């Protein structure tokens, strides 16, 4: 099989599966422990302000709402998860995807913590690594847990595909 023909659907499915597991984790955390995760409407709002050259906000929740911000945020969430899945495949390749091991996706999952800590949170007004939130340590711990779940999701999705792939 042509590697590109195999790479594209694997990357999309591995990334989407990992994002779905993150979403299930967020739902469990919200219902069981009353832990509020990122509202993807706010992610969409933040992205929607880019064309206006507005990349940093004092508090994104106070920024002007933008029509369609929620669906944009969800599309961004899944697109970012898929993009990082392609990073995983670019580094470890299709041979890894055909017989996945846990270490590569965990390294990618935990490595993705850089994006919220140094791009998303400062841009949305939460500071570097949630330093401007009421409890930065708790926020960081939630971030690490969520990105660990993302790594597990990358592995679980790749493993499922390795079993199901024709």
The helix (H) or strand (E) run that includes residue 121 is: helix 121-124
> Mind listing the pLDDT tens digit for each residue in 122-149?
999 999 999 999 999 999 999 999 999 9
Domain locations in the chain as residue ranges: 3-164
166 has a pLDDT exceeding 80: no
Structure confidence at residue 1 (pLDDT): 59
Q: How confident is the model at residue 4 (pLDDT cuts 50, 70, 90)?
A: confident
117 with 132: CB under 8 angstroms?
Answer: no
The helix (H) or strand (E) run that includes residue 137 is: helix 136-164
Structure confidence at residue 37 (pLDDT): 85
* pTM of the predicted structure, to 2 decimals: 0.94
C-alpha dist (Å) from residue 98 to 5, 40, 66, 115 = 14, 32, 42, 28
125 with 59: CB under 8 angstroms?
Answer: yes
């Amino acid at each position: 099989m042509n590697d590109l023909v195999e790479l594209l659907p694997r990357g999309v499915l591995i990334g989407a599966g990992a994002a779905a597991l993150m979403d299930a984790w967020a739902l469990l955390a919200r219902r069981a422990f009353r832990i509020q995760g990122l509202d993807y409407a706010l992610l969409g709002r933040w992205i929607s302000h880019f064309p206006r050259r507005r990349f940093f906000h004092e508090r994104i929740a106070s920024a002007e709402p933008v029509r369609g911000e929620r669906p944009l945020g969800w599309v961004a969430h899944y697109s970012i998860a898929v993009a990082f899945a392609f990073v995983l495949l670019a580094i470890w390749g299709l041979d890894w995807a055909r017989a996945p091991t846990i270490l590569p996706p965990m390294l990618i999952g935990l490595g993705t913590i850089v994006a919220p800590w140094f791009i998303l949170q400062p841009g949305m007004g939460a500071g570097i690594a949630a330093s401007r939130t009421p409890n930065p340590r708790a926020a960081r711990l939630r971030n690490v847990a969520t990105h660990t779940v993302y790594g597990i999701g990358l592995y679980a999705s790749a493993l499922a595909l390795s079993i199901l792939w024709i």
